[in-house]
Amino acid sequence: MAESFMGLMSGFSVAISPMNILYCFIGCFVGMVVGVLPGIGPTEATALLIPLTYGMSPVSAIIMLAGIYYGGMYGGTITSVLINTPGEAASVITCLDGYPLAVQGRAGVALKVAAVGSFVGGLISTLGLALIGPPLAEWALKFGPTEMFALLVFGMSMVIGLMGKSLIRGLIAVFIGLLFALVGMDTVSGNIRFTLGINQLVGGIDLVTLSMGLFGLSEILVGMENLKIHNKAGNMNSSKLYPEEKRPTIMSIIRGSFLGFFMGLIPGTSSAIPAMISYSIEKRISKHPEKFGHGAVEGVAGPETANNSYVGGAMIPLFTLGIPSSPTIAILLGAFMMHGLTPGPTLFINEPLVVWGTIASMFIGNLILLIMNVPMASWWAKLANVPNKLLYPVVLIIAILGAYTVSNSMFDVIIMLIAGVIGYVLKKVDIPMAPIVLVFVLSEMMERSILQSIKINKGLSGLYTSPIAMTLLISAAFVLVYSLISELKNKKSAYLGDGSD
Amino acid sequence: MSKIIQLIKKMNVAAVFGVLYLVVASWFLIESFNYPYMTKFGVGSGFFPRWVSVFAIIVGIVYLLTAIFKDRFIFEDIMPDRQGLQNVLLVIMAIIVFIFLTDKTGFIISASLLLFTIFIREYPWWKAILLAIVVSTICFLIFRKGFSVPLPVNRWGF
């Protein structure tokens, strides 16, 4: 505890430098913008902006990119409430009660409650990250290659089980990610594989380029199908809670904070899941469940808190195990590597200022977002009025520039184009996109750990002699079987979507 | 011609995707035999790809079977309307032209051309030209001057 406190204090000394506050503000601002604009989410924005952080110090870059992630969660709420269009997946559920509140002239209430809930959720989960992160990292140091391989298999099973509506489509996505990751130099032996003789592929397919294609360009192509869509924002009148709404709202914010944080710890979840669970809990325990769907304030407060709180929780597997729990976190992991940092248990020891600086900046970022949101919500809503016919071409040129900057060559633009077309096709056949990127990131670690495990144990015996590995593998099997049974009983929710943030 | 289009429209798109996926996974499996499975130091660089591609093929076969017998959906259900399809193909073609043109014409001209081909479908010609030039120039200035990205330029420096 004392160690965490000291770390946090040193983190604040980094985070409050004028430049880092500026980068935090830029990250939050960009996150808000992409959250507000339907069709572009934090995943695409993070991928687009990574190349621009090359010249920055690692801590500033991570502070800015993390700001985009949690800023996007705030921004998505505004369009859900005012124009019934979620800016990102986590805010889908907010439409159910946020928009009816806006129709009743109480959009101000919905936005204020969402902003305060997001702030509280963000603070509680960041505090949780500061407290749980270091001991978990210490525990993770005991993991050998066998345990790490089992953990990765478990993580992948969660990705397959929780993301998307079909187990088989999830598996297809996982293997697409694994096959993509095989291209390039094998880091264990140095052999060059599956490059088709193309020299630029020796280093493998770049994560940022792949993500920009799969998420960004494919979204643009889908958007190009109908450029006529034009959103119109509503007006905000009252912004005060009724006295009888105050207690249930506060309680839903507290519940949402803890729910989101713990869901963030589970690899393979997305911020849409805690939001959805929070909504169903709030409805179940409410004295007036009939109000849900017609403008219940708890229906906005709980899910919005949960999706922001999720972000802090999701950072824990990244910081302590080097495992991303969502696509945006996977891209953040790519940013860590690009800046010469290796996420995992040693990060707290080797780069304490980066870790604690980022954690401390999240406190500051949440405060910035609260200030940006409560008085300025109507201004943000106007941004959603940008017509698609202008928005998509502009995003397209930014995506092309983003891909070009990866290695200052048109080759990355070609790869992005191919990935974009593949992503478009995958969207059409309902294959979830998020597992591809998550598995792509984990694949190299997975191959290295299984090869090392085989070498150490002279075979695969380590997988069933190590209690930790065995437990994780059994859990993975349980998740897959449970997911299959749920699917057969048609219990999987359509809200799970493709698991993007 | 219209008969062929009708035939394509009724085609099971999930099954087509399944076949393509299996072709790619099979290529990975065949290719994996070019890399050593075992070396004197232990397992080789062919070990992981071989198992990954074997499992990928198994998953692909299950997917194909479900696509044929259970989750059938046809091209007609997922394809955009004529205008939408034209827009999508236009963007892809415009990016390809951009890729080949940029080194010769410089970024601003090729990006303006790319944007113009998209804007012209929704805006009057003069607005489309103006928007294309303004957006490309702003992006050029931000990335080249602001972030020092060495974007391709022509002999006049843009």
Does A428 reside within a domain? Answer: yes
B42 three-class SS:
strand
Does B126 reside within a domain? Answer: yes
- Please tell me whether residues B101 and B142 are part of one structural domain: yes
Test the B interface: residue of A176, A191, A193 with most B CBs within 10 Å: A193
Q: Is A421 an interface residue toward B (CB < 8 Å)?
A: yes
Q: What is the pLDDT of residue B105?
A: 92
Number of cross-chain residue pairs from A and B with Cβ atoms under 8 Å apart: 143
CB within 8 A of A60, min separation 6: which ones? A19, A20, A23, A53
Does A139 reside within a domain? Answer: yes
Q: Are B121 and A446 in contact (CB under 8 A)?
A: no
* Number of domains chain A is built from: 1
- Please tell me whether residues B74 and B113 are part of one structural domain: no
Instruction: Name the residue of chain A whose CA is nearest to B49's CA.
Output: A182
Q: What is the pLDDT of residue A131?
A: 84
Does A272 reside within a domain? Answer: yes
Does A499 reside within a domain? Answer: no
Give the nearest partner residue to A225 out of B31, B84, B139, using CB atoms: B84
d(CA A355, CA A434): 25
- Give how far the C-alpha of residue A41 lies from the chain's centroid of Cα atoms, to the nearest Å: 10
Neighbours of B3 (CB within 10 A): 7
Give the nearest partner residue to B14 out of A194, A389, A429, using CB atoms: A429
Instruction: Note the residue count of chain A.
Output: 501
Query: Which of A37-51, A317-331, A428-442 is predicted least confidently?
Result: A37-51
Q: Could you tell me which of A237, A311, A211 has the C-alpha nearest to residue A269? A: A311
Query: Which of A168-172, A201-205, A274-278, B123-127 is predicted least confidently?
Result: A274-278
Q: Is A56 an interface residue toward B (CB < 8 Å)?
A: no
Interchain contact, A176 vs B21, CB within 8 Å? yes
At residue B113 the predicted structure's pLDDT band, cuts being 50, 70 and 90, is very high
Q: Are A253 and A119 in contact (CB under 8 A)?
A: no
- Please tell me whether residues B100 and B114 are part of one structural domain: yes
Rounded mean pLDDT, B111-135: 93
The residue among B26, B56, B78 that closes a domain is B78
Q: What is the pLDDT of residue A91?
A: 75
- Please tell me whether residues B73 and B121 are part of one structural domain: no
Rounded mean pLDDT, B39-54: 89
Q: What average pLDDT does the structure give for chain A? A: 82
pLDDT beyond 70 at A500: no
Q: What is the pLDDT of residue A495?
A: 45
Q: For residue B48, list chain A residues with Cβ-Cβ distance below 8 A.
A: 182, 447, 450-451
DSSP state of A165: S
Does A497 reside within a domain? Answer: no
Q: Is A414 an interface residue toward B (CB < 8 Å)?
A: yes
B95 three-class SS:
helix
A193 three-class SS:
strand
Give the nearest partner residue to A193 out of B49, B92, B114, using CB atoms: B49
- 3-state helix/strand/coil string of A410-470: HHHHHHHHHHHHHHHHHHHCCCCCHHHHHHHHHHHHHHHHHHHHHHHHCCCCHHHHCHHHH
Does B37 reside within a domain? Answer: yes
Does B95 reside within a domain? Answer: yes
- Please tell me whether residues B111 and B70 are part of one structural domain: no
- Please tell me whether residues B9 and B64 are part of one structural domain: yes
Query: Which of A228-232, A271-275, A280-284, A477-481 is predicted least confidently?
Result: A228-232
A337-357 pLDDT tens trace = 888 888 877 887 888 888 888
**Which residues form the domain of B115?**
82-146
The b-or-e profile of A400-409 (16+ CB within 10 A means b, else e) is bbbbbbbeee
Does A353 reside within a domain? Answer: yes
Q: For residue B28, list chain A residues with Cβ-Cβ distance below 8 A.
A: 179, 182, 194
Rounded mean pLDDT, A302-320: 86
A249-293 pLDDT tens trace = 999 999 999 888 888 877 666 677 788 788 888 888 888 888 888
The residue among B21, B55, B78 that closes a domain is B78
Nearest CA-CA distance, residue B3 and chain A, Å: 23
d(CA A171, CA B55): 10
Does B67 reside within a domain? Answer: yes
pLDDT beyond 50 at A53: yes
At residue A88 the predicted structure's pLDDT band, cuts being 50, 70 and 90, is low
> Phi first, then psi: what are they for B56, rounded to 5°?
-60, -40
Interchain contact, B98 vs A178, CB within 8 Å? no
Rounded mean pLDDT, A375-389: 73
Does B153 reside within a domain? Answer: no
**Bigger pLDDT: A499 vs A463:** A463
Give the nearest partner residue to B84 out of A188, A194, A226, using CB atoms: A226
- Please tell me whether residues B74 and B88 are part of one structural domain: no
Does B58 reside within a domain? Answer: yes
* Beta-bridge mates of residue A184: A193
- Please tell me whether residues B68 and B88 are part of one structural domain: no
- Please tell me whether residues B131 and B70 are part of one structural domain: no
Does B17 reside within a domain? Answer: yes
Does A500 reside within a domain? Answer: no
- Please tell me whether residues B89 and B45 are part of one structural domain: no
At residue A491 the predicted structure's pLDDT band, cuts being 50, 70 and 90, is low
Interchain contact, B42 vs A450, CB within 8 Å? no
Query: Which of A25-29, A328-332, B65-69 is predicted least confidently?
Result: A328-332
Rounded mean pLDDT, A146-164: 79
Q: Is A444 an interface residue toward B (CB < 8 Å)?
A: no
Q: For residue A221, list chain B residues with Cβ-Cβ distance below 8 A.
A: 88, 91-92
Instruction: Name the residue of chain A whose CA is nearest to B116's CA.
Output: A393
Longest dimension (CA), chain B: 69
- Please tell me whether residues B49 and B107 are part of one structural domain: no
B31-40 pLDDT tens trace = 999 999 888 7
Does A498 reside within a domain? Answer: no
d(CA B149, CA A449): 37
Query: Which of A365-379, A483-497, B53-67, B122-136 is predicted least confidently?
Result: A483-497
- Please tell me whether residues B65 and B97 are part of one structural domain: no
Rounded mean pLDDT, A470-483: 88
B156 three-class SS:
coil
* Number of domains chain B is built from: 2
Does B152 reside within a domain? Answer: no
Beta strands in chain B (DSSP E): 38-39, 42-43
Q: Is A244 an interface residue toward B (CB < 8 Å)?
A: no
Phi-psi map region of B38: left, alpha, beta (phi>0 left; psi -120 to 50 alpha):
beta
Interchain contact, B114 vs A428, CB within 8 Å? no
Q: For residue B13, list chain A residues with Cβ-Cβ distance below 8 A.
A: 428-429
Q: What is the pLDDT of residue A22?
A: 93
Q: What is the pLDDT of residue A494?
A: 45
pLDDT beyond 60 at A230: no
The residue among B78, B101, B131 that closes a domain is B78
**Which residues form the domain of A114?**
2-492
Q: Are A369 and A204 in contact (CB under 8 A)?
A: no
What share of chain A in percent tops pLDDT 70?
A: 90
**Bigger pLDDT: A209 vs A489:** A209
**Bigger pLDDT: A158 vs B122:** B122
d(CA B158, CA B145): 11
Rounded mean pLDDT, A97-125: 85
At residue B95 the predicted structure's pLDDT band, cuts being 50, 70 and 90, is very high
